[in-house]
Amino acid sequence: MNPTNHQLRLAARPSGLPEPSDWELTSEPVPQPHANQILVEVSHVSIDPAMRGWMNDLPSYIAPVQLGDVMRAGAIGRVIASEHPGFAVGEHVFGLFGVQEFAISDGSGVTKVDPSIAPLPTYLGALGWTGLTAYFGLLEVARLGAGETVVVSGAAGAVGSVAGQIAKIKGCHAIGIAGGAAKCRWIVEELGFDAAVDYKAENVRAALRERAPDRVDVFFDNVGGDVLDAVLTRLARGARIVICGGISQYNARQARGPANYLALIAARASMTGMLVFDYADRYAEATAELAGWLREGRLVSREYVVEGGVSAFPEALLKLFTGENIGKLVLTVP
């Protein structure tokens, strides 16, 4: 066993984009589990836009990461020592293990994953929180109906790419908003979206007039800002907007709300925020359906895997905000 556990800790609260000085790489002896605990050797760390919010000292749905603490992160790993009756050595598990090489857990919030069903990184993508967010956001929050027009922002990202595919599986017309020609080609040619809007090269509002002439029934938003404002002008009667995220605002020193929100009145529309954690008691049923779609080839899961271990996390996190990744961003450890 490696006697050293390398960890990445939050050293300062960022202002704008996180900088190298906001992190501290530390090491300590690998801990040993006590009664009702397991020791997990981490292999893959999920990198998510929500992490940027966790770094702020602001009220939210979850407590901020405290200065000096290991950076919070969902991760996949293998149980290498167990004093817990519910987990055996050799099993692969998912949990909030953090950005470190080894983690002790009492099993709370830890779920087993099966690498014979799908590759381990997929359990951070389509079969993980991101896939579940798309699933419940569309089917429960938006109450998606067949034949509706669905627009997804951040459509080449982890959640958005799954959301658009679920819309197609459910018989909807799916339009993705993404940045750059390569991402737009990918979501149409490989994922099956009906159309794409390149927000870097097109006027989003004008493009939606062309590609969604009957207006938008459901908008699954991961971006916020100007993109949200543009879609608000193209709502159908009774439209539902799901606010999953707002990556355009996460590094802003002053977040900006929607300017066109009064369009909700004319359209008799709704805008609802959602968190996947509210559906924790239904993860198993949703994961089973997502896995079935993967097995049938109806759903594609793509992971953008970065190597380099714990020390590579700060640079990897920035890829979310430069738009470099396509699909789910995952860091391998070590």
Q: How does 132-171 read in b/e, with b if 16+ C-beta sit within 10 Å?
A: bbbbbbbeebbebeeebbbbbbbbbbbbbbbbbbbbbbbe
* Pair (217, 305) in one structural domain: no
CATH of the domain at 218: 3.40.50.720
pLDDT value of residue 58: 87
Range of the structural domain that residue 194 is part of: 129-277
* Pair (29, 91) in one structural domain: yes
Residue 75 class from Cβ within 10 Å (0-12 exposed, 13-18 middle, 19+ buried)?
buried
pLDDT value of residue 307: 96
User: Could you tell me if residue 282 is inside a domain?
Assistant: no
pLDDT value of residue 252: 83
Over pLDDT 70: what percentage of the chain? 99
Nearest to 71 by CA among 49, 54, 53, 95: 54
pLDDT class of 132 with cuts at 50, 70, 90: very high
* Pair (73, 189) in one structural domain: no
**pLDDT tens digits, one per residue of 29-52:** 999 999 999 999 999 999 999 999
Number of domains in the chain: 2
pTM of the model: 0.94
CA dihedral 61, 124, 130, 36 (to 10 degrees): -40
* Pair (67, 18) in one structural domain: yes
* Pair (152, 102) in one structural domain: no
Cα four-point dihedral sign 156, 159, 161, 164: negative
pLDDT class of 2 with cuts at 50, 70, 90: low
pLDDT class of 3 with cuts at 50, 70, 90: confident
* Pair (34, 63) in one structural domain: yes
User: Could you tell me if residue 219 is inside a domain?
Assistant: yes
User: Could you tell me if residue 285 is inside a domain?
Assistant: no
Q: Are 57 and 15 in contact (CB under 8 A)?
A: no
User: Could you tell me if residue 296 is inside a domain?
Assistant: no
**pLDDT tens digits, one per residue of 85-130:** 999 999 999 999 999 999 999 999 999 999 999 999 999 999 999 9
pLDDT value of residue 78: 98
**Residue 7: is its pLDDT beyond 60?**
yes
* Pair (103, 160) in one structural domain: no
User: Could you tell me if residue 295 is inside a domain?
Assistant: no
* Pair (264, 143) in one structural domain: yes
* Pair (41, 144) in one structural domain: no
* Pair (110, 241) in one structural domain: no
Q: Enter the DSSP assignment of 313.
A: H
User: Could you tell me if residue 291 is inside a domain?
Assistant: no
**pLDDT tens digits, one per residue of 57-95:** 988 899 999 999 999 999 999 999 999 999 999 999 999
* Pair (150, 273) in one structural domain: yes
Q: Are 156 and 137 in contact (CB under 8 A)?
A: no
Average pLDDT, the chain: 96
* Pair (115, 202) in one structural domain: no
User: Could you tell me if residue 293 is inside a domain?
Assistant: no
**Residue 253: is its pLDDT beyond 90?**
no
**Residue 255: is its pLDDT beyond 70?**
yes
User: Could you tell me if residue 287 is inside a domain?
Assistant: no
